């Protein structure tokens, strides 16, 4: 009888499962943030390269247009 009470109490405790769910949720959010920031960085870099190419062209004699 005592064993069944102990097992019944163990089955109703959900603190550990909730903590794991929150941890997985936080990891998922972190992965999404890292992916988004990486994509924004790549897009921003491509934009700067486009502007630099438009301003400097193929010339490296203009100040600030060195390779």
The predicted model gives 27-56 an average pLDDT of 92
The predicted model gives 31-51 an average pLDDT of 93
Q: What is the DSSP letter of 63?
A: T
Vertex 17 angle, CA 12 and 20, to 5°: 170
d(CA 20, CA 27): 11
For residue 8 the two structure tokens come to 């019944």
Q: Which residue has the higher pLDDT, 15 or 24?
A: 24
pLDDT computed for residue 13 by the predictor: 63
- pTM, two decimals, is 0.57
Cβ proximity of 60 and 67 under 8 Å:
yes
């Amino acid at each position: 009888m005592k064993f069944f009470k102990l097992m019944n109490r163990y089955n109703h405790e959900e603190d550990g499962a909730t903590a794991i769910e929150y941890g997985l949720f936080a990891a998922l959010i972190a992965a999404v943030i890292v992916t988004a920031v990486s994509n924004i960085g790549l897009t921003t870099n491509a934009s700067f390269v486009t502007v630099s190419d438009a301003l400097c062209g193929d010339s490296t004699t203009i100040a600030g247009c060195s390779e």
